């Protein structure tokens, strides 16, 4: 009798296949840690669908508004760049104020991704996004 896979098992299998293909490692080298996080030795990877990657990227962008280039923020807020620079000196604590100052958050996010790519915001290791089998792989460490 053929074993039926749950959706979670099937997804895990697809994720591991994509990661194996991307890294050229063996199945036994891959350890699952959470829903979409995997380790190969001490290297941490995130394997996401396009929709998950987009959502994650948007969340990461919204949490790091304070770190954006002041001219980019000035363009999207209409606030003088010198004022933005002075607000940015407060680092993370200035994030909500700057986020609430953006005129069109959708346009801001699209411009940010268009300029730097999703990998820049998701991959804390190298800023790259890799696609394998319609899944997106990001190295985190």
Which pLDDT tens digit goes with each residue over 52-71?
A: 999 999 999 999 999 999 99
Q: Is residue 1 part of a domain?
A: no
116, 108 in Cβ contact below 8 A?
A: no
Range of the domain at 47: 7-139
User: Phi and psi for 58 in degrees, rounded to 5?
Assistant: -60, -40
Q: pLDDT-based confidence at 2, cuts 50/70/90?
A: low
As given in the structure block, the two tokens for residue 139 are 């190295």
Question: In this predicted model, what pLDDT tens digit does every residue of 21-45 receive, in sequence order?
Answer: 999 999 999 999 999 999 999 999 9
pTM over 0.95: no
Nearest CA to 43 among 53, 57, 54, 29?
29
Nearest CA to 137 among 48, 4, 75?
48
Output the pLDDT for position 126: 97
Nearest CA to 113 among 134, 79, 136?
136
Q: Is residue 24 part of a domain?
A: yes
Q: How far apart are the first and last CA of the chain?
A: 41
Please count the structural domains in the chain. Answer: 1
Q: Is residue 22 part of a domain?
A: yes
Question: In this predicted model, what pLDDT tens digit does every residue of 11-25 receive, in sequence order?
Answer: 999 999 999 999 999
Percent of the chain with pLDDT over 90: 94
Q: How far is CA 112 from CA 3, 5, 91, 120, in A?
A: 44, 39, 19, 10
Q: Is residue 46 part of a domain?
A: yes
Q: Is residue 81 part of a domain?
A: yes
Output the pLDDT for position 101: 98
Q: Is residue 25 part of a domain?
A: yes
Q: Is residue 2 part of a domain?
A: no
**Mean pLDDT computed over every residue of the chain:** 95
User: Phi and psi for 136 in degrees, rounded to 5?
Assistant: -115, 130
């Amino acid at each position: 009798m053929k074993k039926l896979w749950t959706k979670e098992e099937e997804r895990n299998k697809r994720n591991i296949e994509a990661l194996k293909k991307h890294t050229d490692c063996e199945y036994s080298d891959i350890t699952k840690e959470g829903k979409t996080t995997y380790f190969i030795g001490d290297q941490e990877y995130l394997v996401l669908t396009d929709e998950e990657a987009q959502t994650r990227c948007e969340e990461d962008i919204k949490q790091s508004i304070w770190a954006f280039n002041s001219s980019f923020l000035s363009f999207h807020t209409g606030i003088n760049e010198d004022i933005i620079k002075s607000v940015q000196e407060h680092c993370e604590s200035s994030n909500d104020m700057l986020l609430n100052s953006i005129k069109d958050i959708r346009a801001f996010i699209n411009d940010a991704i268009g300029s730097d790519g999703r990998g820049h915001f998701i991959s804390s290791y190298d800023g790259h996004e890799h696609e394998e089998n319609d899944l997106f792989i990001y190295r985190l460490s």
